[in-house]
Amino acid sequence: MLTGKHLIAGEWVAGAQMFLSLPAYGEARAFSVGTPAHVAAACERAEAAFWSYSALSRDARATFLDRIAEEIDARGTEITAIGTSETGLPAARLEGERARTTGQLRLFAAHIRQGKYLDIRHDPALPDRKPLPRPDIRLVQRPIGPVAVFGASNFPLAFSTAGGDTASALAAGCPVVVKGHSAHPGTSEIVAQAIAGAIAACDIHPGVFSLIQGGRRDVGEALVQHPLINAVGFTGSLSGGRALFNLCAARPNPIPFFGELGSVNPMFLLPHAVAARGVEIATGWAASLTMGAGQFCTNPGIAVLIDGPEAQAFIAAAKAALDPVPVQTMLTDGIAAAYREGRDRISGTAGVGSVLTNICATRTAAPCLFEVSGEAWLANHALGEEVFGPLGLIVRVRDAAQIQQIARALPGQLTCTLHLDAADTDHARQLLPVLQRKAGRILANGFPTGVEVCDAMVHGGPYPASTNFGATSVGTMSIRRWLRPVSYQNMPAVLLELCTD
């Protein structure tokens, strides 16, 4: 049963004002509006919880993460029902995303049990070293304190209440205060109920987790500026993320802001690959571009290839694959409106030609495809800005040298993709060093939509893909965002045990 309330340190707290959810279909429900006072209460309780929670053994924290996963799975049917209503996403997508959410909780539990994330380093004492002896020094990663997490609109489970930011922070030993996204408040509350169940079952301090629903801009600002918050995790728009990033930097004690802000995820189609299988690549691109109405941060929005007959065949094949794709429901009216604005911005840009356009209204989107010359793209960097939805832009370039120009002109990206055959290897060798500077993940002969949760994954990149190029928001390395290194010099072994478990 939904309460419509905030969960603050184990207590369901009502607000003085309410807001109505805006589901894709089904019943609208009323939820409490968060306030800075709710933020303050949650942060104070998170700080109180930090001392006992950060001192738990790795095994105890891992058991807690496993129990959260169990509690979420136990509510699976309820989560799917409310999630599909609120977001318009199909049941299969919600079930898959729930499996990813619980899977990453269990992965993080196994990872911290191993202790590798602590990155323990030891330089033993050298008492006889000349001219000066060396002390015994050990380095260990330690949790930083309470963390703020902003739920994402496009992933109501995997990047929201118990998603990657929350799971990794809890794995690191940090309490979490979540600002739920107003696009799916019911889904957020049910997941919060699951976390509350795990807290009770594991006898964890209830301040380790709070969920504040809704709220205006003042709630987000109060959260990132609260002096007890030590870092922020965010997935969302460039404008919203940059505003929060600036607030974090302007605090009397600045804190890190780990924001994933968007990317066009360009694909570079090399000549021999296009000649051999251009139609196949175009068909695969169309499927990736329109998956989930294009509402993925790794959606491959740009394809770059050398102009000529093979390029024209690629364009025709992409249009043929996109044309029958039906209208899809988008996550919110606002996202749908932004997609239409992005479509109109691209189509109205000098030098851009329309290959396929569709009229869509209210909360729906249909695929659009445009093409532009390399010269025109280089002359207008706005063409490299993300349009969140099923929109593709084909950049036709003169030659391999202009492909290099395009790659060098790109801002930071989450992903870059190379489509190549063996005969394209020399060309790829020249391009790869550029792409390594531009993206956190580089693919060969694939499509970037979908991110594997594993040890080796990087979901991040140079700005504006993310605000911290040395971090990832997916995979076990994401835990490192909420830790800082501490060196212990000549520390008695009995005290070191407290730091390494």
Contact 87, 156 (CB under 8 A): yes
Tokens read off for 123? 């330089």
Which of 47, 71, 86, 260 is catalytic? The answer is: 260
Does 360 qualify as catalytic in the annotation? no
Q: Which residue type is seen at 263?
A: S
Does 260 qualify as catalytic in the annotation? yes
**Which 8-state DSSP code applies to residue 466?**
B
Contact 402, 271 (CB under 8 A): no
Which of 174, 248, 297, 360 is catalytic? The answer is: 297
Beta strand pairing call for 302-306 and 439-444: unpaired
b/e 192-216 (16+ beta carbons within 10 angstroms → b): bbbbbbbbeebebbbbbbbbbbbbe
Contact 69, 106 (CB under 8 A): yes
- E-state strands within 307-452: 328-329, 353-356, 364-365, 368-373, 391-397, 413-419, 439-444
Cα separation, 135 vs 453, in Å, equals 40
First to last CA, the chain: 38
Place of tokens 């990736």: 288
Burial class (CB in 10 A: 0-12, 13-18, 19+), 326: exposed
Write the CB contacts of 437 (distance below 8 Å, at least 6 apart in sequence).
462
Active centre residues (catalytic): 260, 297
